[in-house]
């Protein structure tokens, strides 16, 4: 039985999961340099040990109201097809395993968010975990459709 390992995090009351293989590291929020004229969801750029990487504010990206940074706020650094970027989240929760059969396709209207970002919904008992389609988060334009 195939299973996936997920890093889960939260934005407001929602819980999300990303494939652990795509996660390079999780860091506290360093000073962020704003980039003028960049897309609104791009919070800015940070220095990750000498590499300048863009940071996506996931709240803005998903059209959620912005929130104040707290001690729990983190940046999850993701690496997708060799490209590195970070997503800003309210807090990182845990790492868990999810069986394939616990993953359902995204509901047509997924929690008011753009369904393009959602790969599926994972069920862990009563908890619902929104699994993100990461290549859609930055760059915006629809890339090749994944048949997950």
Q: Which residues bind another protein (CB under 8 A)?
A: 30-31, 33-38, 42, 44-47, 49-54, 83-85, 138-139
Determine the Cα–Cα distance for residues 147 and 76; give it in Å rounded to an integer: 25
Least gap, CB of 44 to another protein (angstroms): 8
Pick the closer one to another protein by CB: 6 or 137.
Answer: 137
Least distance (Å) between residue 100 CB and another protein: 31
Q: DSSP 3-state assignment of 144?
A: coil
Considering the complex, what minimum distance in angstroms separates the CB of residue 40 from another protein? 11
C-beta of 35 vs 115, nearer to another protein: 35
Q: What are phi and psi of 21, to 5 degrees?
A: -65, -20
């Amino acid at each position: 039985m195939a299973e996936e390992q997920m890093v889960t995090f939260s934005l407001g009351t929602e819980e999300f999961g990303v494939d652990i293989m795509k996660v390079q590291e999780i860091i506290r929020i360093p000073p962020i340099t704003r980039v003028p004229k960049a897309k609104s969801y791009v919070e800015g750029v940070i220095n990750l040990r000498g590499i300048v990487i863009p940071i996506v504010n996931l709240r803005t990206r998903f059209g959620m109201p912005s929130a104040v940074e707290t001690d729990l706020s983190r940046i999850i650094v993701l690496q997708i097809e060799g490209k590195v970027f970070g997503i800003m989240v309210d807090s990182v929760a845990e790492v868990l395993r999810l069986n394939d059969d616990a993953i359902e396709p995204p509901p047509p209207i997924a929690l008011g968010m753009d369904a393009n970002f959602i790969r599926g919904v994972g069920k862990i008992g009563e908890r619902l975990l929104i699994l993100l389609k990461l290549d859609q988060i930055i760059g915006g334009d629809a890339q090749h459709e994944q048949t997950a």
